[in-house]
C-alpha cells in the first residue's frame, strides 16, 4: 500500500495536473483576498479575518479536487493497467486507501501555502495578533475534512468510468449536490418537520459548524461516515468489474 501511495504521489508531482491544481487554488484565493475589490478583499475589509478564504475555498475545491481524482481509476481502466493492479498482493480497500491518501496529500500541499495568508493577517492586525486563531484552526480543520469528502466522492466517480472527463463531471455534480444540494432542498420547505434532517445530510451545514471553531463529535462522525460511504461505494464499483 505504501508503494502504491508513493507511486500516486510521484505521478501527481511528475505531471502538470498536480502543480496546476495547487497553482490555480493559490492564485484564485490570492487574487480575491488581496487584489480584486470584492467583499473578500482583506485590506479593503479593514478587519483581521480570513473568513473570505474559508467561504471561497470549498467552491474552488469543488472543481480542483475532481481534477485531481478523475484519473485515479479512469486512467487505470483506459490504459488496461487496472487488471494488473488488481493482481497485486493488495486488497481493494488498500488500493482505494492508497489513492485516497495520495489525493488528500496533494490537497494538503495546496492548503499549506495559505498559512502565509494567516501570518500576513496576524501581523497586519491592530494590535498584531488580534485574530481569532481558534476559529481559524477550526476552519482549517473543516476545510481539510471537506476536501477529504470531495476526494472520496471523486474516487467513486472515477471508478465508474474509463473516461476522465466523465469522471470529472460526475465528481463535480456529486460534490456540488452533497455540498449545497441539501441546503437548497431545505430552503424550499417542502417536507415540514423533515426539512431540518434533510439539511443535516449536506456537507455545508457541518462545514460551517466546524468553521466556527467548535469541534463537535456529530460533525466529525458525519464526515467520517460520508467518507466511508463513498469509499465503500468505490470498493463495490471495483468489485463489480470482477464479476
User: Alpha carbon of 135 to those of 50, 51, 67, 70, 117: distances in Å?
Assistant: 10, 10, 29, 32, 15
What angle (nearest 5°) sits at the alpha carbon of residue 57, between those of residues 51 and 58? 110
Point out the residues of the chain with pLDDT beneath 50: 243
Q: Domain range spanning residue 101?
A: 2-240
**CA torsion through residues 65, 170, 175, 91, sign:** negative
How high is the pLDDT of residue 243? 47
Residue 82: predicted pLDDT: 67
User: In sequence order, which ranges of 112-201 are alpha helices (DSSP H)?
Assistant: 115-124, 133-159, 164-176, 182-187, 195-200
Q: 232-236 long-range contacts, Cβ below 8 Å, gap at least 24? A: 233/156, 234/73, 234/96, 234/152, 234/155, 234/156, 234/159, 235/92, 235/93, 235/96
Give the Å distances, CA to CA, from 204 to 45, 75, 144, 163: 24, 30, 13, 29
Give the per-residue pLDDT at 241: 61
Overall pTM > 0.75: yes
* Count of domains for the chain: 1
The number of angstroms, rounded, from the C-alpha of 14 to the middle of its chain's C-alpha atoms is: 21
Amino acid at each position: 500500500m505504501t508503494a502504491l501511495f508513493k507511486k500516486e504521489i510521484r505521478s501527481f508531482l511528475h505531471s502538470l495536473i498536480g502543480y496546476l491544481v495547487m497553482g490555480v487554488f493559490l492564485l484564485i484565493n490570492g487574487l480575491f483576498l488581496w487584489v480584486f475589490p470584492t467583499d473578500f478583499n482583506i485590506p479593503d475589509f479593514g478587519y483581521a479575518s480570513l473568513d473570505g478564504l474559508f467561504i471561497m475555498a470549498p467552491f474552488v475545491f469543488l472543481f480542483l479536487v475532481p481534477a485531481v481524482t478523475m484519473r485515479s481509476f479512469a486512467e487505470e481502466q483506459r490504459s488496461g493497467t487496472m487488471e494488473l493492479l488488481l493482481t497485486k498482493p493488495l486488497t481493494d480497500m488498500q488500493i482505494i486507501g492508497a489513492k485516497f491518501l495520495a489525493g488528500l496529500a496533494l490537497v494538503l500541499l495546496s492548503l499549506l501555502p495559505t498559512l502565509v495568508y494567516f501570518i500576513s493577517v496576524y501581523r497586519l492586525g491592530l494590535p498584531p495578533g488580534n485574530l481569532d486563531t481558534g476559529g481559524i484552526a477550526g476552519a482549517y480543520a473543516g476545510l481539510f475534512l471537506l476536501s477529504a469528502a470531495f476526494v472520496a466522492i471523486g474516487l467513486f466517480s472515477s471508478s465508474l468510468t474509463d473516461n476522465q472527463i466523465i469522471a470529472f463531471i460526475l465528481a463535480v455534480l456529486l460534490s456540488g449536490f452533497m455540498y449545497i444540494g441539501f441546503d437548497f432542498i431545505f430552503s424550499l420547505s417542502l417536507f415540514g418537520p423533515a426539512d431540518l434532517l434533510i439539511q443535516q445530510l449536506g456537507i455545508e451545514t457541518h462545514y460551517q459548524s466546524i468553521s466556527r471553531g467548535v469541534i463537535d463529535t456529530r460533525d466529525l462522525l458525519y464526515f467520517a461516515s460520508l467518507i466511508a460511504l463513498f469509499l465503500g461505494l468505490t470498493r463495490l464499483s471495483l468489485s463489480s468489474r470482477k464479476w
